[in-house]
Structure 1
Amino acid sequence: MAGAPVKFGTILSFCVLFYAVYFRRNDVGDIRLSPVKDQLLNLESNNKVAIGNLQPKVALGYGACHDLFVNATQLLNFNELKGTPEHFNEISNKEEFLKSFAYFFKHGAAAERFMSNSELYDELIEKALKLHDTRWAIGGNAPLMAKRFFMEGWKVLFAAKMSQKLKSYIPNDIQIVGDEMNEEVKDDIHMILEYKADEIFGSYKAPRANRYIVHNDENNPLLSSLEKFGETLPKFNPNLLVISGLQMMDNYPFKREGHQDLRAERLKLVKEQILSQPATTLTHFEMASYVDLELLLHLTSKVLPYVDSVGMNEQELTNLCSILEHGEVSIVADSNPRVATALDQMRKIFHLIREKNKIHGSNRILTRIHVHTLAYQAILTVKNSNWKRTEAAAAKASLTAHRYVCNNQNIALDKSKLLLDDSFSTTTDNENNSRVFFEPSKPVSCWDEVVHRESVEICVAPVLICTEAQLTAGAGDNISAAGLVLQIEK
């Protein structure tokens, strides 16, 4: 296949690498941009699904919210920061809030935290609403992914308790289940503190554009739409079930009734909902920012062993790898990891979840992993599994990353850059010097290899990074959904 790893070190490979680097650096701009754009668009247009009556069906759970987008450095005053940046699992006062924000800001890392102090949260919302460029939008993994699937021509069902006002953000043809007839619902609000690459917060500079999310949810942590969703699933009969939004349970103060662990009970019901689906329904779990060790351990026994696919960003990749291998939480990771590092972590996760498939006697086994980073998309699928068109899926995910962040359907080369080098190692293993050469005329590199005694295909696509970011929150949801869109056969 194109882009298959080659052994690095021959005179020919050295010359190719030298020529590519020299040619690119001696041009006014990056000459790779135009052919990369053209070929990614070709892959997307030549691999359409959801045409005519061939509409796949997707069901997504759980939850929704109002997102309040705020310019982080306008809302927060660096002079109020006392001491050095620090990580906290949950936020109980303003000092912790400022330290936590600064900690992730200086790393350019995405984060999501529960604020247990309702009074402080309300004050922050009130202050944010006074800023001139604050805006409202619908939020939550399920509705954002649902809208992306709908845009791509799928039939969509998703589960959330929502007010009529929040439902107005959703296209009418998307089916929503969760609340009772005429039930008054108070929507949860998430505050999205956005910042751009190189933005300054006191003595700190952001290495990349990202967002810090804080919430004080009452509805979403309980997965309050789960039962209604379960009643509707058999009739809808989806081709794909997406499990998301479970991070709302992270550090939420669940009340214990005697010896009953309400969170564990709710996750047990999620597991039963997955298991109730026919073998023809593929299942995908969308990772998120988790710091609660107990919750992560629940996920490794009640969710991950029972899904066909997992999607995540680079921070979540490192965290999932750490929890599966060492039983420890990883708070922050490299915001732009080497391809080799990410691929090694994907292989490790594949191996460890496959082991959990056996331990838990699951009738489903992991056959797909999608990792999206600032610089590239990486998708691993098992050969001859039910996942199709991996190369095109990586291309579509890459294009969606640019379109969403730039908030424009057109790919503008003057607002694009590539961070992917002219070649990359496929592993950090010093004894394996295989390397892939990046060809702008065939930008998605795919190859076959054996991982955990299973033949897999791995595809890596460069991202035409949007240099004028308009949106950051929700990018991962749109990218993950776009990657799934082309991989399901109706």
Structure 2
Amino acid sequence: MSGVPVKLGSILSVCIVLYGIVYRQNYDVDERLAPVKEHLLFLESKNAVGKDEWQPKVALGYGACHDLFVNATSLLDYGELAGAPEHFNEISSKEEFLKSFTYFFKHGAAAERFVSNSKLYDDIVEEALKLSDTRWSIGGNAPLMAKRFQMEGWKVLLGAKMSNKLKSYIPENIKIVGGEENEVIKDDIHMILEYRADERFGVYKAPRANRYIVHNDENNPLLSSLEKFGEFLPDFNPNLLVISGLQMMDNYPFTSNQAVDLRAERLDLVKQQILSQPLHTLTHFEMASYVDLDLLKQLTSKLVPFVDSVGMNEQELTNLLSVLEFGKVSIVADSNPRVATALDQMRKTFLLIRENNKLNSSRRKLTRVHVHTLAYQAILTVKGSQWKRTEAAAAKASLTAHRYVCNDANINLEKSKLILDDSFSTTADNDKNRVFFEPSKPVACWSEVLDGDDVEICVAPVLICTEAQLTAGAGDNISAAGLVLQVEK
């Protein structure tokens, strides 16, 4: 080829074409990411809270645990998987454990399961501790949300029984109540099996980063901090009460020969705790991964009709709607649902809970729904309610999703990507009703009328962290961040 003459113009033409391709690719990335980041940060900074003399106050229940983080594919051996992946409501054997994990892994879906076999659970923990990258942290919805609220400038009351060792993970200015003085407490341990996007487990590949949680709790299912927490609520007088951690009751073997349904009794006490709050104290229920239909029916009848707000991910939204609409459990859902699909589910869920408000003669009506997904945050609030700054809250939740998963306070565009489409339908029923994504003003908000009320819906894109460091606890931090900016004195 060296003897073949090549014209300079041809070389320049090729270089220009190649440069154009490379430049356009880089330009596309910069064009979307940089202005999105800039405007989200602007909305966050313009709406900071807890910086003056008045600090909002939040009370959160119930429970806490030690989280043991482990790389799922390092701990588990695909060669031991006998048969096809399968869903189980609870885990009683190694075979069920492997099948259940693989079932959710291949869907990239978060899950949390009770291990009824205590010896099996202890053996799994022992194996996990042999891995070099296993690490300990504090766990539980309430403590993780409490730390986020405190970080964002709130005063915090946390209802949880925990040992002094576990308390050392909590900032000192968070007030912890739940146990008696000098009480010896054995902390529950949750094992968090994490995996990254595109990670392989045998023939299966994870469509997104996520986690599978197993536990063998003894304290948390009984809501052991409930009464002590209630004693402190009147004097603390919170602006916001957060109810979380009730999924620990899911498939827990409450003693069956008791004359009283202990689980129902404990949930009735939670309901009374909610009802005892003045109406100016906003209440939020944090949804989680549930599979016990009886428990879900109890939650949707005893608790959900009496709160102002609910928060959940896309899988939990599908499950809650399925129970409200059809009385059935939905085990997995699309890990990256279309915006229109999630919004339609939000509307139906809102309206069904509003019906339950009326049926239960509740003094409160649902006025807020927050759904967080991999690609976007969607928050619905009733105009004229106590919830404020919905646009900024969606932005704050989006930024928190990136920061937490990347485990970095800074937003690094080299570790970011957007998968929200350039436009989306606000409902699957009408594809013409579209919102166009504007990178320089990325949070889209609009008004609708639902159940006779004017509502505002805001959708914010997530700068997805491409190098996930943390997955467990992301939802807790995102939900808390969404609430942070929405409460005013």
Report if TM-score (shorter chain) is over 0.5.
yes
What does residue 88 of structure 1 align with? 88
How do 1:43-192 and structure 2 match up within 5 A? 43-192=43-192
Provide the rounded CA distance (Å) in 1 between the counterparts of 2:351 and 2:262: 31
What does residue 227 of structure 1 align with? 227
What does residue 213 of structure 2 align with? 213
The CA deviation string for residues 191-226 of structure 1, in whole angstroms up to 9 with x for no partner, is 000000000000000000000000000000000000
Per-residue deviation, 1:51 = 1.4
Provide the rounded CA distance (Å) in 2 between the counterparts of 1:256 and 1:362: 31
How do 1:319-398 and structure 2 match up within 5 A? 319-398=319-398
How do 1:421-436 and structure 2 match up within 5 A? 421-430=421-430, 433-436=432-435
What does residue 279 of structure 1 align with? 279
Runs of 4+ aligned residues of structure 1 deviating over 6 Å after TM superposition are 23-26
The CA deviation string for residues 363-397 of structure 1, in whole angstroms up to 9 with x for no partner, is 01100000000000000000110000000000000
Partner of 1:29, secondary structure, is helix
Structure 1 pair 310–179 and aligned structure 2 pair: CA distance change class (3 A): same
- The answer on 1:405 being equivalent to 2:392 is no
Partner of 1:436, secondary structure, is strand
Identity of aligned residues (%): 79
Provide the rounded CA distance (Å) in 2 between the counterparts of 1:126 and 1:174: 32
Per-residue deviation, 1:256 = 3.6
Provide the rounded CA distance (Å) in 2 between the counterparts of 1:339 and 1:125: 39
Provide the rounded CA distance (Å) in 1 between the counterparts of 2:394 and 2:178: 33
Per-residue deviation, 1:59 = 0.1
How do 1:199-210 and structure 2 match up within 5 A? 199-210=199-210
Does the 8 Å CA contact 1:57/1:154 hold for their aligned counterparts? yes
Deviates more, 1:29-38 or 1:293-302: 29-38
Provide the rounded CA distance (Å) in 2 between the counterparts of 1:331 and 1:373: 17
What does residue 299 of structure 2 align with? 299
Partner of 1:455, secondary structure, is strand
Structure 1 pair 82–383 and aligned structure 2 pair: CA distance change class (3 A): same
Per-residue deviation, 1:54 = 1.4
Does the 8 Å CA contact 1:72/1:195 hold for their aligned counterparts? yes
Provide the rounded CA distance (Å) in 2 between the counterparts of 1:40 and 1:434: 25
Provide the rounded CA distance (Å) in 2 between the counterparts of 1:26 and 1:37: 16
Per-residue deviation, 1:31 = 1.8
Normalization by structure 2: what TM-score? 0.94
- Which amino acid letter does the alignment assign opposite residue 485 of structure 2? L
Higher RCO structure, 1 or 2 (CA under 8 Å, sep 6+): 1
Does the 8 Å CA contact 1:24/1:30 hold for their aligned counterparts? no
Provide the rounded CA distance (Å) in 1 between the counterparts of 2:215 and 2:26: 48
Does the 8 Å CA contact 1:40/1:396 hold for their aligned counterparts? yes
What does residue 418 of structure 1 align with? 418
- Which amino acid letter does the alignment assign opposite residue 113 of structure 1? R
- Which amino acid letter does the alignment assign opposite residue 87 of structure 1? H
The CA deviation string for residues 238-264 of structure 1, in whole angstroms up to 9 with x for no partner, is 000000000000000001454310000
Provide the rounded CA distance (Å) in 1 between the counterparts of 2:448 and 2:275: 30
Per-residue deviation, 1:53 = 1.4
Name which one, 1 or 2, has greater alpha-carbon Rg. 2
- The answer on 1:441 being equivalent to 2:431 is no
- The answer on 1:482 being equivalent to 2:481 is yes
Does the 8 Å CA contact 1:24/1:31 hold for their aligned counterparts? no
Partner of 1:458, secondary structure, is strand
The CA deviation string for residues 81-108 of structure 1, in whole angstroms up to 9 with x for no partner, is 0000000000000000000000000000
The CA deviation string for residues 327-374 of structure 1, in whole angstroms up to 9 with x for no partner, is 000000000000000000000000000000000010011000000000
Structure 1 pair 250–44 and aligned structure 2 pair: CA distance change class (3 A): same
The CA deviation string for residues 2-24 of structure 1, in whole angstroms up to 9 with x for no partner, is xxxxxxxxxxxxxxxxxxxxx97
What does residue 463 of structure 1 align with? 462
Structure 1 pair 25–465 and aligned structure 2 pair: CA distance change class (3 A): same
Provide the rounded CA distance (Å) in 2 between the counterparts of 1:345 and 1:453: 18
Does the 8 Å CA contact 1:256/1:262 hold for their aligned counterparts? no
- Which amino acid letter does the alignment assign opposite residue 285 of structure 2? F
- Aligned pair count reads 467
Does the 8 Å CA contact 1:55/1:154 hold for their aligned counterparts? yes
Partner of 2:270, secondary structure, is helix
Per-residue deviation, 1:49 = 1.1
The CA deviation string for residues 103-123 of structure 1, in whole angstroms up to 9 with x for no partner, is 000000000000000000000
Provide the rounded CA distance (Å) in 2 between the counterparts of 1:244 and 1:30: 39
Provide the rounded CA distance (Å) in 1 between the counterparts of 2:112 and 2:415: 28
- Which amino acid letter does the alignment assign opposite residue 331 of structure 1? I
Provide the rounded CA distance (Å) in 1 between the counterparts of 2:24 and 2:189: 46
Structure 1 pair 371–74 and aligned structure 2 pair: CA distance change class (3 A): same
Per-residue deviation, 1:52 = 2.3
Provide the rounded CA distance (Å) in 2 between the counterparts of 1:202 and 1:467: 23
Provide the rounded CA distance (Å) in 2 between the counterparts of 1:156 and 1:325: 35
Structure 1 pair 218–361 and aligned structure 2 pair: CA distance change class (3 A): same
Provide the rounded CA distance (Å) in 2 between the counterparts of 1:28 and 1:451: 38
Structure 2, unpaired ranges of 5+? 1-22
Provide the rounded CA distance (Å) in 2 between the counterparts of 1:166 and 1:24: 51
Partner of 2:40, secondary structure, is helix
- Which amino acid letter does the alignment assign opposite residue 436 of structure 1? V
Deviates more, 1:51-60 or 1:92-101: 51-60
- Which amino acid letter does the alignment assign opposite residue 84 of structure 1? A
Per-residue deviation, 1:310 = 0.2
Partner of 2:176, secondary structure, is strand
Partner of 2:29, secondary structure, is coil
Partner of 2:311, secondary structure, is strand
What does residue 9 of structure 1 align with? none
Provide the rounded CA distance (Å) in 1 between the counterparts of 2:255 and 2:447: 49
Per-residue deviation, 1:30 = 4.8
Provide the rounded CA distance (Å) in 1 between the counterparts of 2:312 and 2:360: 23
Structure 1 pair 311–260 and aligned structure 2 pair: CA distance change class (3 A): same
Per-residue deviation, 1:25 = 6.2
